[in-house]
Amino acid sequence: MKKISKILKSSILGLLALSSLGMMSCGKGADGKTGTLAGTKDAAGWKLNADKPITFDWYINFSWFARHWGDSKVSKYITEKTGVNVNFIVPAGNEAEKLNTMIAGDALPDLITLGWYEGQVPMMIDSGLVYSLDELAEKYDPYFFKVANPDKLGWYRQADGHVYGYPNASFTPADYETYKGKLTSNETFLVRKDLYEALGKPDMTTPEGFLNALRAAKKKFPTINGLPIIPFGTAEFSDVGNSQLQGVLSHFLAINPENDGKYTDASLGLTENPEYVRWLKMFRQAHEEGLIPTDIFVDKRSQIEEKAAQGRYFCMLYQNWDMQAPQNALYARDPNTIYVAVDGPKNSRGDDPQLAGGSIAGWTVTLISKKCKDKARAIQFLTYLISEEGQMDTNFGIPNETYTIKDGIPTLLPEVESLDSNDKNKQETEIGVLYTYWMLMDTAWQAQWGVEYAPSLAQPQLWTRPYVRSYAVYDGLTLPVGSDEDLIYQEIQRRWGKELSNLIRAESEAEFDKILNNFNQFKYDKGYAKIQAAQTELMKKNKAKLAR
């Protein structure tokens, strides 16, 4: 891996020698070469250029994203309004390999959206492969600063004083005050309602109670519609572990990411925390008893959703919002078979969960490549998307066609709401409201309307409200790509990705302990203390940034 990283970095450095030539072929907006007109602080640039058709290639770093621009009413409406068409580029397989290949080959498309936490974000910035949004805005669309949130710009401002990416799903400290009691978390422990009630609503907050509930479910309901029941399910496993059995489980156990002022990264396994290990041992026992099938280690998201739509899971530690399609399908067949959120794993003190709400870092960031065909139109399109008008269009859609205004509140038409509840995929493909195009969605802005959830989706979302907290100070603790700390981090994370499944599949508790001890020894031998020190320093900088 170290050799590959060096080769990738060398390729990028070599390409930088040609940067001046590359910039000559990039966006030529507002200088007469493309005919793109610059906006002003009072006039948004996108409105001045809506009569000039352009198509942007937009890379989405998520292989599961399956939407196309131009199919839905909303995307057609936005193109008609702005003159901008979009060609989404989505990796067919490994996201990192696809993006790294484009970076090394100097083949980045016009726009790039990826998780803020991905190492390629600082790589592209440090290598000069993306534009600073503030400089583009100053030159081509000063109106950007009227609609961009200053706290979000401040969070993403780099050491050179510039901002290179704008987030979606970002919640500022002010948002937590403004929308207190209205914010939700995506982290839920779900049970199939009818099965759970038939078992007498067992207490699943302790390892013993959890295990007994799985046993009872398999005994009482061995099959679901002729297929074997799956007592426990979770998100897909990857080569770096499982998000639900790492950070999310730690939030249910109310494990503080800080100990004695030092940051502990759940993505590297909380293998020295007795509360966490206690629950991992329960999962090991469940697997030994056949309560966690082997499929759980290989199923991808599409397979998980298919099984959830069949109602085969008794319980799941899963991101609730990713359950929309299965929940709608279950509700349409029998409302009593949907999944509902209940009290899940707790620590030995019985503390309430501390679930992650939206953070200031958000979910993804969108950047403009220096290979962009028209950098002026690109920043103007971003200005539109993050503006009130862009949010209205991407969330509610087309006035009087997908929504109307009632007492000052935008409200989806009944038929649109019904379609979204009963066939989410069809709604997103044919209509495209409710942030089908989520790349720059502002979910804090959305909260002001008092989001009304479909009956199939409401309970799990509302259940999380009392337990939501901000983990903003722990966002963005990404180590510099190619640094010694980064390479150590990657090596430990890959080892953890293997050992997490090995721990659950261990044939005995003695074997579990051996795997755990070997991993702990491995991570310290590799230099875990160095990683912890570096991330702790980044955490301190975040605290200072938020205190301003």
Question: Domains of the chain (ranges plus CATH)?
Answer: 2-175+361-447 (3.40.190.10), 187-356+472-547 (3.40.190.10)
d(CA 345, CA 168): 30
pLDDT attached to residue 8: 44
- Tokens at residue 84, please? 């901008």
Q: Which residues are within 8 A (CB) of 515 and not within 5 positions of it... i.e. 6 or more apart?
A: 499, 502, 503, 506
What residues form DSSP beta bridges with 234? 317
User: Which 8-state DSSP code applies to residue 237?
Assistant: P
Say how far apart CA 123 and CA 164 lie, in whole Å.
12
Between CA 259 and CA 474 the distance in angstroms is 13
Sign of the four-CA dihedral 509, 511, 516, 520: positive
pLDDT at 164: 98
How many whole angstroms separate alpha carbon 469 and alpha carbon 466?
9
8 A C-beta contact, residue 355 and residue 185? yes
pLDDT score recorded for residue 410:
95
Identify the pLDDT of residue 475: 85
Question: DSSP string covering 341-361, please?
Answer: E------TT-PPP-EE---TT
Q: What pLDDT was estimated at residue 32?
A: 54
By the 8 A CB rule, do 382 and 278 touch? no
What is the per-residue pLDDT for 5?
Answer: 40
Beta partners for 258?
Answer: 263
The token duo for 232 is 């426990």
Ranges of residues in the chain with a pLDDT under 70 are 1-33, 548
Cβ-contact 449, 410 below 8 angstroms: yes
CA–CA separation, 151 and 154 (whole Å): 5
CA–CA separation, 358 vs 350, rounded Å?
25
Q: For position 2, what pLDDT does the model report? A: 37
- Cα–Cα distances (Å) from 19 to 9, 23, 128, 133, in that order, read 15, 6, 8, 18
Q: What is the pLDDT of residue 440?
A: 98
3-class secondary structure, 54: strand
Three-state DSSP class for residue 162: coil
Give the list of residues 6+ apart from residue 474 with CB closer than 8 angstroms, or none: 257, 263, 539, 542
Structure tokens at 286: 């469940």
509-526 and 484-504 helices cross at what angle (nearest 10)? 180
User: Cα separation of 48 and 120, whole Å?
Assistant: 34
And the tokens for 27?
């966006």
H or E segment at 286? helix 274-288
pLDDT, residue 1, reads 38
- Strand pairing partners for 166? 366
Kindly report, residue by residue over 231-257, the tens digit of the pLDDT: 999 999 999 999 999 999 999 999 999
CA 355/CA 357 separation, integer angstroms: 6
Encode pLDDT of 441-487 as tens digits: 999 999 888 777 889 999 999 999 999 988 888 988 989 878 999 99
List the beta strands (DSSP E) in 320-376.
339-341, 355-356, 364-368
* Pair of tokens at residue 317: 């530690």
Sheet containing 313-319: which strands, arranged edge to edge?
Answer: 230-234, 313-319, 187-192, 339-341
What pLDDT does residue 450 have?
A: 76
For tokens 């008008």, what's the residue?
389
Report yes or no on whether pTM surpasses 0.85: no
**221/226 Cα distance (integer angstroms):** 10
